[in-house]
Amino acid sequence: PAKVPLATVPLGLWGTAMTARRNVLELIPAIATRQPIVSGKTGVSWHMVMDPTALRRILKEKLDDYQKSVTTKLILNPAIGDSLFVAEGAHWRWQRRAAAPAFAQRHVEALGPVMTAAAEASCRRLAGARGPVDLFEETVAATFDVISDVTFSGDGMFDRDAVHQSIDAYIAQTAKLSLMDVLGLPAWLPRPGRLFSGPGLKRMKAIADQSIAARAQAAEKHGPPDLLDLLLVAQDPETGRTMTRDELRDNLLTFIVAGHETTALTLAWALYLMAFAPDIQEAAAEEARRALGDRAATAADLGALPLTMRIVNETLRLYPPAAFLSRTAQARDTLCGRQINPGDTVMMPIYALHRHHLLWDRPDAFDPDRFLTAPDRYAFLPFGAGPRICIGASFALQEAVIILSTLLARFRFARVPGREPQPRMILTLRPEGGVWLTVTPRD
């Protein structure tokens, strides 16, 4: 693969000031999180890495030396504890082994009907729409339906509106995170205008706890096993260990947080891109109508929808929901000839990687057919890579293709001039202002 230069980012004046102050300030998060303090540090650097060979080293070969960044953990711990997404070392490994079977292909396919039902419900809402529609709001509703059904099977106990509100409030709170947070100031230090969503998070956890307790006692089966059923019996194949109730709850909430907005963003950005490319939209609609006729898509249709899958991949390239991954180095290393010290932050700007002119031909063009040939593994990282690659990737792709093809078969999407969204990075790459499109039923 082409060599892409590595840049150490001083982040302007901020970076310089923070590097100097960091030696004192890093003690605070370390104490707050009771983590060992890496000793012997003299100043901390931030490195921006886009070289595929270096990315492979960080994400795969030296996994334990590049742990999820201190900031990632500070942001996510209050909501999802030390679950799969944030845990490290042995605690991460056993959770991954225990959860992996729940995301095996046959289980993901068995969850297909939930996705089909969400696609149908989305069509009903769109059919009733008058005037432009915010497709981001719409796709969030659809993917939240899916994730709450596949985690808690829509149990009566599971108040999905309350959980949704808590998550929204939490994400809105992280939007208030400033550069100070990104650079490692402790999350509990009050900032002007910052809300603490403690009560919201407590409520969300209480709802999940009730649903888990009710399910564990339920005598009746409720249809195909959902993620809660699968995790209730999940065992680490090496040690036989099962999850405690708290671990179970934190992981189910992780799936909800990690799994719905990311897929909604993929769908909303895909529709936005196709509003600018009517020819591609028509070809995808034609593919969907040929494969589906009047019915909604199912998991079994995926093989007949290759263009839709390429559109999803091309959308993930141009607007990767996880536009930025970061790690905190635990050991000395060398990346692209540059020294990395313990405590340094290594940033992987996936958005920039996916548009790098040394790695992609006409990088800013929307061209789903570029995926007719597989891209270089470490040039295309919408789901990360290595052992910590997104556990829900095939779940997300299946869901995106089912919903997108069903919508395209039934509706035409067009831009609303003057209402273009601005991509903004708030945990994920979100369309500020919404994705407003006109939606016209096809006859």
**Contact string 88-127 vs ligand HEM (x = CB under 6 A):** --------x-------------------------------
For ligand HEM, the closer of residues 281 and 428 by Cβ is 428
- Cα three-residue angle 108-111-117, rounded to 5 degrees: 140
Work out whether 391 is an interface residue with ligand HEM (CB under 6 A): yes
CB of 67: closest distance to ligand HEM in angstroms? 10
Among 79, 84, 142, 323, binds ligand HEM (CB under 6 A): 84
CA atoms within 13 A on the CB side of 206: 8
CA nearest to 114, candidates 279, 252, 240, 296: 296
**Between β-strands 345-348 and 428-432, what pairing exists: parallel, antiparallel or unpaired?**
unpaired
> Smallest distance from the beta carbon of 263 to ligand HEM, in angstroms?
4
Pick from 123, 234, 258, 297 the residue near ligand HEM by CB under 6 A.
258
Which one of 107-115, 189-197, 261-269, 431-439 is the stretch in contact with ligand HEM (CB under 6 A)?
261-269
How many residues bind to ligand HEM according to rule CB under 6 A? 23
Q: Which of 254, 281, 328, 398 is in the footprint of ligand HEM by CB under 6 A? A: 254
Question: What's the rounded Cα separation, in Å, for the pair 269 and 319?
Answer: 7
Three-state secondary structure readout of 86-131: CCCHHHHHHHHHHHHHHHCHHHHHHCHHHHHHHHHHHHHHHHCCCC
Which span (33-41, 50-58, 215-223, 376-384) binds ligand HEM, by CB under 6 A?
A: 376-384
Which of the stretches 5-13, 45-53, 118-126, 388-396 binds ligand HEM when contact is defined by CB under 6 A? 388-396
State how far the Cα of 50 lies from the Cα of 46, in Å rounded to an integer: 13
Tell which one of 50, 390, 404, 429 touches ligand HEM (CB under 6 A): 390
Of the residues 184, 259, 421, 431, which one makes contact with ligand HEM according to CB under 6 A: 259
Q: Which residue has the tokens 């605690």?
A: 91
> CB of residue 386 vs ligand HEM: minimum separation in angstroms?
8
Distance CA 32, CA 26 (A): 10
DSSP 55-88: HHIIIIITGGGEEEPHHHHHHHHHHHTT-TTT--
* Interacting residue with ligand HEM among 29, 81, 392, 431 (CB under 6 A): 392
Q: What mask, x for binding ligand HEM by CB under 6 A, covers residues 299 to 338?
A: ----------------------xx--x-------------
Give residues 178-217 in contact with ligand HEM (rule: CB under 6 A).
Answer: none
Q: What angle do CA 374, 84, 106 make, to 5 degrees?
A: 55
18 burial (CB, 10 Å; 0-12 / 13-18 / 19+) is: buried
CB 432 within 8 A of CB 314: no
In this structure, the number of other CB atoms found within 10 A of the CB of residue 55 comes to: 26
| Residue of 47, 57, 205, 388 interacting with ligand HEM (CB under 6 A) | 388
* Closer Cβ to ligand HEM, 128 or 350, answer by number: 350
Q: Which residues bind ligand HEM (CB under 6 A)?
A: 68, 84-85, 96, 254-255, 258-259, 262-263, 266, 321-322, 325, 382-384, 388, 390-392, 395-396
